[in-house]
């Protein structure tokens, strides 16, 4: 790390400690040439995850947008905000573990449905009806029959 005062390329770390949030390391450094001290922060480089929409457009992944969609599906249901945020955390973790720069919106929708199915079946059906664009009652009934079928298998 170059010294910001004299541009000396050789500096040494005097002290290292995590920041309060734990997402970065604070390093106190000293310059061998001018003897001045300065602070640097080291953190993980975050890559921006791009979502590829059905029409081919791309937009940056938005955690809040995902939470809004889940909240809408869980409206007036006994699902706490903490549980919904936990679902978003799990989905975001799965997306980051893929190590991809782009992900299809369809895949994110499937992850949301998987999480909702575990938590609240009514919320799952609500989300699925919008996500899968049910056009009639028969399509809706088929989805419910699949859900009921999974209960019989257990």
Residues 58 and 120 grouped into a single domain: yes
For residue 63, the model assigns a pLDDT of: 93
For residue 154, the model assigns a pLDDT of: 55
For residue 8, the model assigns a pLDDT of: 95
Kindly report whether the global pTM for this prediction surpasses the value 0.75.
no
For residue 110, report the phi and psi dihedrals to the nearest 5 degrees: -65, -40
Query: Per-residue DSSP letters for 17-79?
Result: EE-TTSSEEEEEEEETTT--EEEEEEEPPPPPPEEE-TTS-EEE--HHHHHHHHHHHTTTSS-
Residue 4 lies in a domain: no
Q: How many domains does the chain have?
A: 2
Residues 28 and 54 grouped into a single domain: no
Q: Do 121 and 111 meet the contact criterion of CB atoms below 8 Å apart?
A: no
| Average confidence (pLDDT) per 10 residues, the chain, 154 residues | 94 92 90 96 84 95 95 95 94 91 95 94 88 74 76 59
Domain around 120: 50-153
Residues 82 and 110 grouped into a single domain: yes
Residues 73 and 148 grouped into a single domain: yes
For residue 88, the model assigns a pLDDT of: 94
For residue 20, the model assigns a pLDDT of: 73
For residue 149, the model assigns a pLDDT of: 73
For residue 46, the model assigns a pLDDT of: 72
Residue 119 lies in a domain: yes
Residue 5 lies in a domain: no
């Amino acid at each position: 790390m170059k010294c910001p005062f004299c541009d000396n390329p050789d500096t040494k770390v005097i002290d290292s400690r995590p920041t309060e949030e734990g997402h970065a390391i604070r390093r106190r450094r000293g310059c061998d040439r001018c003897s001045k001290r300065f602070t640097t922060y080291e953190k993980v480089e975050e890559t921006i995850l791009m979502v590829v929409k059905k029409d081919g457009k791309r937009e940056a992944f938005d955690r809040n947008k995902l939470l809004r969609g889940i909240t809408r599906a869980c409206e007036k249901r006994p699902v706490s905000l903490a549980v919904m945020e936990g679902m978003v955390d799990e989905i975001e973790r799965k997306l980051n573990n893929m190590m991809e720069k782009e992900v299809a919106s369809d895949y994110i929708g499937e992850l949301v449905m998987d999480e909702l199915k575990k938590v609240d079946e009514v919320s799952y059906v609500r989300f699925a009806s919008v996500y899968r664009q049910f056009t009639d009652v028969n399509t809706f009934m088929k989805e419910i029959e699949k859900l009921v079928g999974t209960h019989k298998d257990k």
